[in-house]
Amino acid sequence: MVEALTINKNLSKAEIYEEILPQIKAITEGEENLVANLANIAAILNEAFGHLWTGFYLRDGKTLVLGPFQGPLACTRIPVEPVPRGVCGTAAVEMKTLIVPDVEKFAGHIACSSLSRSEIVVPLIHNGRTELVLDVDSINTDMFDETDQKYLEQLMAVISKNHFVQ
């Protein structure tokens, strides 16, 4: 059982991801409970990067419902059908990662926190349907880039392998 993380915050963003991904794999591979794993992943990402909000929304019919997260209070449900709302709903419907450098410029942005300035949302797709999304918000504009996309998509592949692929 892992009780502490090894995170050197003096590293580059890519190096931090390279450091935490093996630790996330080690923590999650032996645990069958999705919620437990998502909770630990949100905590690890929060500890590694300290963004405003890091968490998951899980598909529940025509909405995304709040899952494990780190940060201030969040929206509980986000519509996906018939019309998606916000960055999370849009990423879920389009089934692709969305990087939003400035949330004020994203049509339909849902301001769960007025402090949020930029956002990345990464969907987990299984059998042609978005099952959950990882949502990370920052107090700074232009915080997320292709490096985040690359490693967070790898992270979602780990979750998919552990919980959705038979």
- Kindly give, in sequence order, each residue whose CB lies less than 8 Å from that of residue 33, ignoring residues fewer than 6 positions away: none
Q: 72: which 2 tokens?
A: 């201030």
Percent of the chain with pLDDT over 90: 77
Note the helical H segments in the chain.
13-28, 34-49, 86-94, 146-163
135 contacts 57 by C-beta, under 8 angstroms: yes
User: Is the pTM for the entire model greater than 0.85?
Assistant: yes
pLDDT of residue 92: 96
pLDDT digits (tens, 9 = 90+) for 77-121: 999 987 788 999 999 999 999 999 999 888 777 777 778 889 999
Enter the CATH code of domain 13-163: 3.30.450.40
pLDDT digits (tens, 9 = 90+) for 47-59: 999 999 999 999 9
pLDDT digits (tens, 9 = 90+) for 67-76: 999 999 999 9
The four Cα atoms 130, 160, 98, 128 give a dihedral, to 10 degrees, of -30
